[in-house]
């Protein structure tokens, strides 16, 4: 069941339309915001789409404002969908105390621990509510859907792609949290949202999920870009864990390490065209 959408703002952009929207999310129990860019090709029929998941402290606006993706999406004929990064207005005590847990830090999973379990249901909202809502309301072909993201959102893109085989045709990430069960950000989020059982943590850990695959889930390849001047690289991101997991099962992975690039949107915008082309090749097929 989905609720009607409210358009918060609408902007002409590279011949297409950029919209910011909200709806009453049943899975979350609160209004949720998201953004959609429709390329000009959507005026003539359904287009493939990319779901982008943003990182810690971000909103549904961050990617659309900073990434420089709309020009590329307009050229390639791809819709862009970007959700908010957590519920807002749950009024859970302490949810705004930390920048890496609670508000703007939903980690794209369904919390099982109180008090978070009642509203922090990001995975179910995205897959069972938001995507069907967008598919019904806009000329978007959900059979040609890719997923990508940055940092916490890169974690979300990789894990959702592995947890829901067949839903996404392509996947990539910028500086993803590759092994959250082994880093401080993941320890904090998983303990709070999922509790102390590490077996539950591994169900939301991209490297662990990849190791558990019987065969390469994305034989056309996964693209990951990582800046070597990223202050979070050594402690939080751990891309070598994903690299080893992919190698172990024969999953093609292009992991590019870039000297001098940090964790922010200057880095993301630099390599956005490569990611859009990566998804276009797979979604066009």
pLDDT of 252: 98
Q: How many C-alpha atoms does 170 have within 13 Å on its Cβ side?
A: 26
Contact call for residues 245 and 278 (beta carbons, < 8 A): no
Of the candidates 155, 204, 263, 280, the residue annotated as catalytic is 263
pLDDT of residue 135: 98
Asked if 173 and 149 touch (Cβ cutoff 8 Å), the reply is yes
d(CA 89, CA 59): 14
Whether omega before 73 lies within 30 degrees of 0, making that bond cis, reads no
Strand segments, DSSP code E, in 26-124 are 30-38, 47-53, 79-83
Question: What does the longest C-alpha to C-alpha distance in the chain come to?
Answer: 51
Task: With beta carbons less than 8 A apart as the criterion, state whether 150 and 268 touch.
Answer: yes
**Is 263 among the residues known to form the active site?**
yes
Sheet containing 222-227: which strands, arranged edge to edge? 5-13, 16-25, 30-38, 79-83, 47-53, 140-150, 170-174, 222-227, 253-258
Continuous segment of H or E residues that includes residue 11: strand 5-13
Query: Which one is catalytic: 205, 230, 278, 280?
Result: 230
Report pLDDT for 285: 66
- Enumerate residues 6+ apart whose C-beta is below 8 A from 284: 48
What length does the chain have?
Answer: 285
The residues facing 171 across adjacent strands are 147
Model pLDDT for residues 145-175, shown as the tens digit of each residue: 999 999 999 999 999 999 999 999 999 999 9
Does 230 participate in catalysis according to the annotation?
yes
Identified catalytic residue from 151, 170, 172, 181? 151
User: Strand (E) positions, 42-136?
Assistant: 47-53, 79-83
- How much is the pLDDT for 2? 53
Spans in the chain with pLDDT lower than 70: 1-3, 285
pLDDT at residue number 1: 47
205 close to 197: Cβ distance less than 8 angstroms: no
Q: 6 - beta bridge partners? A: 22
pLDDT of residue 3: 64
Model confidence pLDDT, tens digit, residues 78-117: 999 999 999 999 999 999 999 999 999 999 999 999 999 9
**Cα of 146 vs its chain's centroid, Å:** 10
**151 in active site:** yes
């Amino acid at each position: 069941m989905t609720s009607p959408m409210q358009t918060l703002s609408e902007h002409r952009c590279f011949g297409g339309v950029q919209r910011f929207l909200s709806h009453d999310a049943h899975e979350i129990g609160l209004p949720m915001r998201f953004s959609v860019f429709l390329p000009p090709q959507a005026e003539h029929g359904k287009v493939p789409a990319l779901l982008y998941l943003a990182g810690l402290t971000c909103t549904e606006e961050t990617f659309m404002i900073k990434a420089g993706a709309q020009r590329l999406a307009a050229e390639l004929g791809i819709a862009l969908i970007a959700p908010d990064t957590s519920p807002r207005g749950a009024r859970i005590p302490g949810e705004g105390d930390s920048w890496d847990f609670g508000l703007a830090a939903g980690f794209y999973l369904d919390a099982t621990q109180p008090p978070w379990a009642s509203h922090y249901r990001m995975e179910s909202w995205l897959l069972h509510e938001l995507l069907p809502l967008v598919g019904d309301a806009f000329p978007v072909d959900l059979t040609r859907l890719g997923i990508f993201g940055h940092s916490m959102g890169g974690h979300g893109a990789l894990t959702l792609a592995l947890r829901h085989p067949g839903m996404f045709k392509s996947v990539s990430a910028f500086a993803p949290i590759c092994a959250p069960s082994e880093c401080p950000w993941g320890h904090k989020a998983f303990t709070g949202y999922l509790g102390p059982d590490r077996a539950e943590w591994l169900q939301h850990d991209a490297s662990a999920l990849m190791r558990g695959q019987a065969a390469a889930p994305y034989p056309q390849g996964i693209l990951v870009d990582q800046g070597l001047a990223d202050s979070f690289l050594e402690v939080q991101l751990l891309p070598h864990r994903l690299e080893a997991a992919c190698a172990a099962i024969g999953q093609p992975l292009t992991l590019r390490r870039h000297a001098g690039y940090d964790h922010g949107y200057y880095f993301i915008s630099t390599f956005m065209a490569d990611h859009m082309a990566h998804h276009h090749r797979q979604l066009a097929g």
